[in-house]
């Protein structure tokens, strides 16, 4: 089943998606939302989540760690992206002034469907509502200059998510690819990850409570390269689909 959020009749709605139509829900499905009799035709897709937090992991593919000059981690390297960075399909990624390099990072993301705290791997996987595509956009030069991730990965528009949530999917061995204006960039399979989805979720839940609607993203495969004004980024994940976002320069003062 595909679940998402749509813009329809002047407001945002949760919906079950099927082809070019959407059946509206009374609320988010992890909050008890149920299907109504209202069907919207050709709706505009929004980001399929409104998370309280986005938990991400660094260097979770060995070859990506290698290309970034980092050791393969012994425990997951966690960081947070702000919910204010979230955008949906077809919304522009804005390159801020002052940066010299911005990279897309296509990743498999988990949408949490039930509260998790100090849970086992099996409990965590049972609590996943579904999976979606996420682009962990990064100002690479700011990341290196700061030695931290917050500014580099926290700009508005730096967390495209979508196009929808796929609920009937195993995360164990999926292809994850990023294309820029038709050119293949990063590519790998989730079976290459250092820490599996279940292991990541269990580790994170030992640190912080994961709430329904939160997003956990699982790292990017190797092959990162910069994007520029006028590009179009496609994150393509087997069993889910394609998340597409154009790229534009943001026009204001340098930071």
What class is the 2-46 domain?
A: mainly beta
Domain boundaries, given as residue ranges, for the chain? 2-46, 54-249
What SS3 state is found at 99?
coil
Classify the phi-psi angles of 180: left when phi > 0, otherwise alpha if psi is within -120 to 50, otherwise beta: beta
Domain covering 54-249 assigned CATH 3.30.390.10 in the classification: no
Question: Which pLDDT score is estimated for 253?
Answer: 54
Q: Which residues of the chain have pLDDT under 70?
A: 253-255
Q: Is the whole model's pTM more than 0.85, yes or no? A: yes
Give all strands (DSSP E) within the chain, no chain letters.
Answer: 2-8, 11-18, 21-25, 35-41, 44-46, 54-58, 77-81, 86-87, 93-95, 102-103, 106-112, 128-135, 138-139, 159-166, 175-180, 183-189, 215-217, 232-237, 241-249
């Amino acid at each position: 089943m595909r679940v998402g959020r749509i813009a329809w009749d002047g407001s945002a709605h949760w919906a079950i998606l099927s082809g070019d139509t959407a059946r509206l829900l009374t609320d988010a499905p992890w909050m008890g939302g149920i299907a109504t009799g209202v069907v919207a035709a050709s709706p505009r897709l929004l980001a399929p989540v409104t998370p309280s937090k986005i938990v991400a992991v660094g260097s979770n593919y060995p070859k990506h760690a290698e290309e970034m000059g980092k050791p393969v981690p012994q425990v997951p390297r966690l960081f947070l992206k702000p919910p204010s960075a979230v955008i949906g399909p077809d919304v522009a990624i804005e390159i801020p002034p002052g940066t010299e390099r911005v990279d897309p990072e296509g990743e498999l993301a988990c949408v949490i469907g039930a509260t998790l705290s100090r849970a086992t791997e099996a409990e965590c996987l049972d609590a996943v509502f579904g999976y979606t595509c996420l682009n962990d956009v990064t100002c690479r030069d700011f990341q290196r200059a700061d030695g931290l991730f917050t500014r580099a990965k926290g700009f508005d528009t730096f967390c495209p998510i979508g196009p929808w949530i796929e609920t009937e999917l195993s995360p164990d061995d999926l292809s994850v690819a990023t294309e820029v204006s038709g050119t293949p960039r990063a590519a790998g399979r989730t079976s290459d990850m250092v820490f599996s989805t279940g292991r990541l979720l269990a580790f994170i839940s030992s640190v912080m409570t994961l709430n329904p609607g939160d997003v956990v993203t699982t790292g990017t495969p190797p092959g990162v390269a910069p994007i520029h004004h006028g590009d179009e980024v496609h994150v393509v994940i087997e069993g889910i689909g394609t998340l597409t976002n154009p790229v534009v320069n943001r026009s204001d003062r340098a930071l």
